[in-house]
Amino acid sequence: MVKPFYVVAGGGGFIGGHLVAELRRRGLGPIRSVDIKPTSEWYQCFEDVENIVADLKDLANCRRACKDAREVYCLAADMGGMGFIETHKAACMLSVLISTHMLLAARDAKVEKYFYSSSACVYNADKQKSEDVVPLKEADAYPGMPEDGYGWEKLFTERMCRHFTEDFGMYTRVARFHNVYGPHGTWEGGREKAPAAISRKVIEAKLGGKKEIEIWGNGHQTRSFMYIDDCLKGIDMILHGNVPEPINLGSDELVTINGLVDMVEDIAGIKLKRHYNLNAPKGVNGRNSDNTLIKKYLNWAPSIRLRNGMEKTYKWIYDEYVAKYGSTAKR
């Protein structure tokens, strides 16, 4: 029997919403998008998609999600930037119920291809102590000492995918996303990551006539940030390619947080006095993606420059901010 559905679990979220949009653009379907949030809160929601509001921690809902599915993209997770994952470790680990039940349901529904979104947070903390980073190779996830809470769940689920392949013959692919940014994502409320948070803070200052900005940490932390379009391309290539092990999907353009702030200020045409909050959530000191393996498997790696992606992201957040708070907002 032909199994028609392309299923995006977490389709109301940032990456999931873009993925649904991309599958539509490619003319694939029917598409089913599942998320726990009411559809009014989905970043992207399309009428020609089967949109289901359901809690995927529940096995019965996972079975409904996977029914007649050809491909399943498991992106649903209770997650966010450092401000969220450092303070919600149990909630992050409870995503294991989503991950486990989705795998069981997909196995039983004989899904052809299964994608799981892991994270750079699986990497051993000892390898990320210095801002002066050596980019992380896939083997650096072991011996296991991932980000507390969230990272443990991701590492555990990676192993689950591996063993579902070994024991049940299920086709699984796993990508370790490095900090993904772009329009149609979280920019306020506590789950936002640095690119969106810094954009919002600069916009707030610009529109509110403030001269200062609060930065978490000392600004010397280093990261790489991947634009959403590279993420979507990578998901497609990894799911459909010969990539039988968890693989980095991230940019290798390293930047300090101060450098990111410089860039956003330049885009906004403003210069602010920086106040460094050393008690705020900071995460690891340094992290970058080693893209040797993805180039070996796919002859491709993310390449969109941070400046290009940030210009689009800043503009989208600016428009959202003005639509919500007005153009002379003083929050």
Known catalytic residues are 150
Q: Choose from ligand NAD, ligand GDD, none: what does 78 bind? Cβ within 5-8 Å by kind.
A: ligand NAD
Options 37-45, 165-173, 209-217, 293-301: segment touching ligand GDD (CB under 6 A): 209-217
Please state, as a whole number, how many other Cβ atoms lie within 10 Å of the Cβ of residue 97. Answer: 17
CB of 261: closest distance to ligand NAD in angstroms? Answer: 18
CB of 9: closest distance to ligand GDD in angstroms? Answer: 17
The residues, ordered by sequence, that sit 6+ positions from 71 with a Cβ below 8 Å of its Cβ are 5, 6, 7, 111, 112, 113, 114, 115, 239
Cite the DSSP H helix spans in 147-283.
150-168, 194-208, 228-240, 257-268
Residue 203 lies near ligand GDD (rule: CB under 6 A): no
The residues, ordered by sequence, that sit 6+ positions from 162 with a Cβ below 8 Å of its Cβ are 172, 174, 245
By CB under 6 A, what part of segment 277-296 binds ligand GDD?
280-283
Residue 217 lies near ligand GDD (rule: CB under 6 A): yes
Interface ranges with ligand NAD (CB under 6 A)? 10, 12-16, 35-37, 55-57, 75-79, 98, 117, 119, 177, 179-180, 186, 193
Q: Choose from ligand NAD, ligand GDD, none: what does 213 bind? Cβ within 5-8 Å by kind.
A: none
By CB under 6 A, what part of segment 74-93 binds ligand GDD?
79, 81-83, 85
CB of 296: closest distance to ligand GDD in angstroms? Answer: 21
DSSP string, 212-238: EEEEES-S--EEE-EEHHHHHHHHHHH
Q: Choose from ligand GDD, ligand NAD, none: what does 216 bind? Cβ within 5-8 Å by kind.
A: ligand GDD
Residue 13 lies near ligand GDD (rule: CB under 6 A): no
Q: Return the residue of 215, 237, 301, 310 that touches ligand GDD, per CB under 6 A.
A: 215
Burial 166-194 (b: 16+ CB within 10 A, else e): eeeebebbbbbbbbbbbbbbbbbeebbbb
Question: Tokens in use for 154?
Answer: 């991701």
Residue 119 lies near ligand GDD (rule: CB under 6 A): yes
Please tell me the total number of residues recorded for the chain in this structure: 331
Q: Choose from ligand NAD, ligand GDD, none: what does 75 bind? Cβ within 5-8 Å by kind.
A: ligand NAD
By CB under 6 A, what part of segment 231-260 binds ligand GDD?
257
CB of 294: closest distance to ligand GDD in angstroms? Answer: 15
Question: Tokens in use for 88?
Answer: 């919600």
The residues, ordered by sequence, that sit 6+ positions from 291 with a Cβ below 8 Å of its Cβ are 135, 248, 250, 252, 301, 302
CB of 139: closest distance to ligand GDD in angstroms? Answer: 17
- Cα distances from 56 to residues 41, 62, 102, 200, 243, in angstroms, run 17, 6, 7, 31, 27
Question: Tokens in use for 64?
Answer: 């409904």
- Which residues are at the interface with ligand GDD (CB under 6 A)? 79, 81-83, 85, 119-121, 150, 177-179, 192-194, 197-198, 215-217, 221, 223, 257, 280-283
